[in-house]
Amino acid sequence: MQLDYLPVCGNAATVLSFLLALLLNLRYLEGTLYCVFALAPLLLLLSPGKTLFRNLTEDNRYAPVVDAVSFTCMAGAVFELSALWSADSPVLAALEVEAGADVSHGSHPHHPRLSPTDKTLRRF
Residue range 53-91, pLDDT digits in tens: 878 888 888 999 999 999 999 998 888 888 777 756 666
More confident residue, 121 or 25: 25
Taking the C-alpha atoms of residue 104 and residue 83, their distance in angstroms, rounded to an integer, is: 22
Do 78 and 92 have their domain in common?
no
How confident is the model over 28-51, as a mean pLDDT?
Answer: 87
Higher pLDDT, residue 89 or 8: 8
In a shared domain, residues 117 and 66: no
Whole-number Å distance between alpha carbons of 21 and 12: 14
Query: Are 91 and 80 part of one and the same domain?
Result: no
Pinpoint the alpha helices (H) of the chain: 6-23, 36-39, 63-84, 90-99, 119-122
Using CA atoms, how far residue 1 sits from 4, 49, 117, in Å, is 10, 17, 78
Range of the domain at 46: 1-84
More confident: 12 or 122: 12
Residues 60 and 35 in one domain: yes
Q: What total of structural domains would you count in the chain?
A: 2
Verify that 31 and 64 share a domain, yes or no. Answer: yes
